[in-house]
A and B are shown apart, each in its own frame.
Chain A
């Protein structure tokens, strides 16, 4: 897990871009937003590659509801999850058999298997696969997860589930002392990618920013794009200048 906080990372990016003045073009909120956007992508790739429980988030006692019109049992995902193939963003869903109080925790008991709307029909052809309370299935439609096999029973203690949840892009980092939920070895990549995003913001020529004054008499320099170098952001290179030098 990461030990880097948003405060260090975001301010490091702003410092690198020299965007700490009161008239800075890039703000702290924006950098934190970029961090979350990139961190989400890196986390998704990392979880896919590395099979550990580092990023697994467990939710307990998630209540099962019944959809009014269809009478189907479902629950809404308590948090947004990564969208992997075969719904592998949901690591497991389980519930405890309340008739047996001497068994282990819920996740050692009745485990749900994944299916989909399209594939679930075939389950009922095979008596060994038919969804039942001892062999339940789940399928996902957007953020709602439906269950097959629980039609005839109640689950008073709710469900337990392990999810690979995403970083909340709009909320995470609101407390700058929170740690960025990303492994330390990925922080360098994160910073590089955030700096890349920042370059696009800084590449916009000043002439395209509304200063509120009529400057039609001045020469328009719209084609002069300033490209900040990532390692030396202050050393802007004017594309036109560089082209002229090359010529």
Chain B
């Protein structure tokens, strides 16, 4: 549970300053800015302690997010704060080849289409990894088809008549199109993206090629479900050395289907060149290449500064003392060095710091 800011404000006022009911200290001028400063200070402490594995991931419990991105042609991802709606603090994990769920239209990879001899019916066949258990008769299937002659694409909805999760086949009534044969022949296999299911399907998503190959995109339409491939973080030096070492993460020696392959990522780098139209501020890079593929990034976002007492301080409750002591210490700055509050809080803060550093 996050900390309600008013609890800290009251504690600072009553316990620390002995100023309940007094207007000498103002919430907006003194206490809230001090709390925000304390949160920033705590952020720096956690950065250090977490990096040294002296704090667990539970310190981020109110700040952790998992978002799906589509990697650029260069296998890079830019976590754009304006797309995400918040600033990033630290990356906790990068997951490759995730199974995802789409909010409305869930996408299944189509591996084949057979037009039934008794049209208007068609069988859509999905890969063996697709979970069709959630698709039931009566679900809607949107089918994007292309006219053989004109090449014009049209999308039409079909009703699912039967589902076989063993053979991964769906039988649909194609009655809106009485002559599906004008578009597909019996036994045709469609390997491109053609079928979208409007039911919950968890699978590796179909990803279009990017409009601008150098720019990764955030995919707010995809929800991360699971992944078997976490990427290991490498330093800049390791990044080059590991490339041809089959025993190290991020190598390009093992084939991409190899179970023992471990992906890797390199932290933010600005790859921009002054004379090139490459203006992405900072990107993480993943290897082996996941060009245009979905990648899930688990990260902690920066805690939002509080504005009023009703806001939440986005840290777990066990950080109350840290924030209280540090906020009080910031207020004591105004009172001049050597005040009692300063010394008392400094001692408390040192005690807390020693427990994690």
Of B230, B255, B257, B262, the contact of A27 (CB 8 Å cutoff): B262
B90 nearest CB across to chain A (Å) = 15
Of chain A, the residue at the smallest CB distance from B230 is: A22
User: How many angstroms between the C-alpha atoms of A32 and B260 in the bound complex?
Assistant: 8
Of chain B, the residue at the smallest CB distance from A22 is: B232
With A170-B246, A174-B254, A174-B255 known to touch, is A29 a contact of B260 (CB < 8 Å)?
yes
Q: Does B208 contact A (CB under 8 A)?
A: no
Contact with A along B214-255 (1 / 0, CB 8 A): 000000000000000010100101000000001111000011
Q: Are B235 and A212 in contact (CB under 8 A)?
A: yes
Q: In residues 246-288 of chain B, which contact A (Cβ within 8 Å)?
A: 246-249, 254-255, 257-262
Chain B residues, Cβ within 8 Å of A136 = none
Chain A residues, Cβ within 8 Å of B255 = 174
Q: Are A33 and B247 in contact (CB under 8 A)?
A: yes
The B interface is mostly helix, strand or loop, or mixed, namely loop
User: How many angstroms between the C-alpha atoms of A33 and B254 in the bound complex?
Assistant: 12
Q: Are B260 and A173 in contact (CB under 8 A)?
A: yes
Q: Does A30 contact B (CB under 8 A)?
A: yes
Q: Does A176 contact B (CB under 8 A)?
A: yes
Q: Does A215 contact B (CB under 8 A)?
A: no
The A interface is mostly helix, strand or loop, or mixed, namely loop
Of chain A, the residue at the smallest CB distance from B259 is: A176
Contact with B along A133-163 (1 / 0, CB 8 A): 0000000000000000000000000000000
Chain B residues, Cβ within 8 Å of A10 = 260
Q: Does A47 contact B (CB under 8 A)?
A: no
B71 nearest CB across to chain A (Å) = 22
B238 nearest CB across to chain A (Å) = 10
Chain A residues, Cβ within 8 Å of B230 = 22
With A27-B262, A33-B247 known to touch, is A174 a contact of B232 (CB < 8 Å)?
no
Q: Does A175 contact B (CB under 8 A)?
A: yes
Chain A residues, Cβ within 8 Å of B235 = 212
A9 nearest CB across to chain B (Å) = 13
Q: Are A27 and B259 in contact (CB under 8 A)?
A: no
User: How many angstroms between the C-alpha atoms of A30 and B255 in the bound complex?
Assistant: 15
Chain A residues, Cβ within 8 Å of B262 = 27-29
Chain A residues, Cβ within 8 Å of B246 = 29, 33, 170
Q: Are A174 and B247 in contact (CB under 8 A)?
A: no
Of chain B, the residue at the smallest CB distance from A173 is: B260
User: How many angstroms between the C-alpha atoms of A73 and B260 in the bound complex?
Assistant: 41
Chain B residues, Cβ within 8 Å of A175 = 258-259
Q: Are A176 and B232 in contact (CB under 8 A)?
A: no
Of B237, B247, B258, the contact of A30 (CB 8 Å cutoff): B247
With A173-B260, A176-B259 known to touch, is A29 a contact of B232 (CB < 8 Å)?
no
A85 nearest CB across to chain B (Å) = 33
Q: Are A28 and B260 in contact (CB under 8 A)?
A: yes
User: How many angstroms between the C-alpha atoms of A173 and B254 in the bound complex?
Assistant: 11
With A22-B232, A212-B235 known to touch, is A27 a contact of B258 (CB < 8 Å)?
no
A143 nearest CB across to chain B (Å) = 23
Of A7, A174, A177, A212, the contact of B258 (CB 8 Å cutoff): A174
Chain B residues, Cβ within 8 Å of A7 = 259
Contact with B along A174-216 (1 / 0, CB 8 A): 1111000000000000000000000000000000000010000
Contact surface of A with B, Cβ cutoff 8 Å? 7, 10, 22, 27-30, 32-33, 170, 173-177, 212
Q: Given A7-B259, A175-B258, 10 more contacts at CB 8 Å? A: A28-B260, A29-B254, A29-B260, A29-B261, A33-B246, A173-B260, A174-B259, A176-B260, A212-B235, A212-B237
- For the complex of A and B, 9 pairs with smallest distance between CB atoms: A174-B258, A176-B259, A29-B260, A28-B260, A30-B247, A29-B247, A32-B260, A27-B247, A175-B259
A-B contact pairs, 27 of them (CB 8 A): A7-B259, A10-B260, A22-B230, A22-B232, A27-B247, A27-B248, A27-B260, A28-B259, A28-B260, A29-B246, A29-B247, A29-B261, A29-B262, A33-B246, A33-B247, A173-B260, A174-B254, A174-B255, A174-B257, A174-B258, A174-B259, A174-B260, A175-B258, A175-B259, A176-B259, A177-B259, A212-B237
